[in-house]
């Protein structure tokens, strides 16, 4: 197993990316290729002595796609950009997976141009794991497509169910369509057209419409929506969890001595809660529907998130998720109405 890591992506590149790769190399059974500016990467690795013995190598790439650049234009113009080169290594069979914390738009465009779509999938989707009261809910799409047709949501449902089954180890994942009510007659034109298509699917367990509160409650394993709604839900969840932890800290800080002493007793529980809500624990979100493993990380990812993203890439490849998606999409092809 060999993972190509875009060392120049994220707000903290390349240092945090390199540190995450080192942690992953020590903990997981995989080789790592750091793709980016060799003159910046080597000094960081040199701090750790004989890093070549960790199974880490460098593949030089002279360009970077910045956040402000138009994704598809930049991908076409910058042939030696780190994310483009990393994807090319997978296309050529040198590596088995890509991990990038750079521009999401550039990552999606690179994956589409470099790896291509799985036959039957019109639009790949980003599947983001969200912690809930009982485990994890997969939200998709969380940002790849802001406008989706019903058949795109159907394809997302099939792919999300596969991911929940083989990566999150959920038997018979419950799939729901995000809506403003549970009734089949609720929702906009998109929802009303998508619902009957999801009911026809043979490879998923569709439980009907679900509301936003069902995500944190854990009553659904896979939630389907378009990327505009999904990204709003994701960012709201991130902001809310951060705000709650901040309010707890402020309440303890401004309390009396007895409350502060009592808080020491619940400190382990609070740390556990913080870890559960921390996106870094989940590493990254896979772009489902392309011919390969492409893990997209948060732009502010540090070493911990990169390490866990490499873990996810390892599991994704070993569990043959792309092959399972290909099989199920082919089986449901008539229902989805998708064409290559």
pTM of the model: 0.88
Per-residue pLDDT tens over the stretch 321-337: 999 999 999 988 755 55
CA 82, CA 99: separation in Å to the nearest integer? 11
Cα angle for residues 119, 125, 131 (degrees, 5° grid): 135
The DSSP letter of residue 222 is E
Q: What is the CATH number of domain 1-121+289-319?
A: 3.40.718.10
> Tokens 């998708």 map to which residue?
338
Same fold, 1-121+289-319 and 125-279: yes
Q: Which one, of 19, 12, 15, 20, lies nearest residue 295 by Cα?
A: 20
pLDDT digits (tens, 9 = 90+) for 240-252: 777 877 787 777 7
CATH fold of 125-279 reads Isopropylmalate Dehydrogenase (3.40.718)
Q: Is 42 exposed, middle or buried (0-12, 13-18, 19+ CB in 10 A)?
A: middle
Encode the chain (340 residues) as per-residue pLDDT tens digits: 899 999 998 888 899 999 999 999 989 988 999 999 999 999 999 888 777 778 899 999 999 988 888 888 888 899 999 999 999 999 999 999 999 998 889 999 999 999 999 999 999 999 999 888 888 999 998 888 888 899 999 999 999 999 999 999 999 999 999 999 999 989 899 999 999 999 999 999 999 999 999 998 999 999 999 999 998 988 888 787 778 777 877 777 777 777 666 666 666 666 665 666 566 677 789 999 999 999 999 888 889 999 999 999 999 999 999 999 999 999 887 555 544 3
Q: What are the boundaries of each domain within the chain? A: 1-121+289-319, 125-279
Q: Are 284 and 101 in contact (CB under 8 A)?
A: yes
227-253 vs 257-277: helix crossing angle, rounded to 10: 160
- Angle among Cα 219, 237, 165 to the nearest 5 degrees reads 45
Q: Is the peptide bond before 37 cis (omega within 30 degrees of 0)?
A: no
């Amino acid at each position: 197993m060999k993972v190509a890591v875009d060392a120049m992506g994220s707000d903290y590149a390349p240092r945090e990316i390199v540190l995450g790769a080192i942690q992953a190399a020590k903990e997981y059974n995989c080789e790592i290729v750091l793709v980016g500016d060799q003159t910046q990467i080597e000094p960081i690795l040199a701090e750790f002595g004989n890093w070549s013995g960790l199974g880490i190598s460098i593949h030089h790439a002279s360009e970077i796609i910045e956040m402000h650049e138009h994704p598809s234009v930049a991908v076409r113009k910058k042939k030696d950009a780190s994310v483009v080169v990393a994807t090319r290594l997978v296309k050529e069979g040198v590596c088995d997976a890509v991990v990038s914390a750079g521009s999401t738009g550039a990552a999606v465009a690179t994956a589409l141009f470099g790896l291509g779509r799985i036959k039957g999938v019109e639009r790949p989707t980003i599947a983001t794991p969200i912690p809930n009261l009982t485990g994890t809910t997969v939200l998709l799409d969380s940002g790849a497509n802001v406008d989706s047709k019903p058949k795109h949501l159907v394809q997302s449902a099939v792919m999300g169910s596969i991911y929940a089954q083989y990566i999150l180890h959920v038997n018979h994942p419950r799939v729901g369509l995000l809506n403003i009510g549970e009734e089949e007659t609720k929702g906009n034109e998109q929802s009303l057209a998508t619902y009957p298509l999801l009911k026809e699917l043979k490879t998923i367990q569709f439980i009907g419409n679900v509301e936003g509160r069902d995500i944190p409650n854990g009553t659904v394993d896979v939630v389907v929506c378009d990327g505009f709604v999904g990204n709003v839900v994701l960012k709201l969840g991130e902001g809310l969890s951060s705000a709650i932890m901040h309010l707890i800290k402020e309440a303890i800080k401004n309390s009396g001595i007895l409350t502060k002493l009592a808080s020491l007793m619940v400190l382990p529980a609070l740390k556990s809660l913080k870890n559960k809500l921390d996106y870094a624990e989940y590493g990254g979100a896979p772009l489902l529907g392309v011919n390969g493993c492409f893990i997209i990380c948060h732009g502010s990812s540090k070493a911990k998130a990169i390490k866990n993203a490499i873990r996810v890439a390892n599991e994704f490849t070993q569990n043959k998720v792309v092959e399972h998606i290909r099989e199920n999409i082919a089986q449901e092809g008539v229902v989805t109405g998708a064409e290559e």
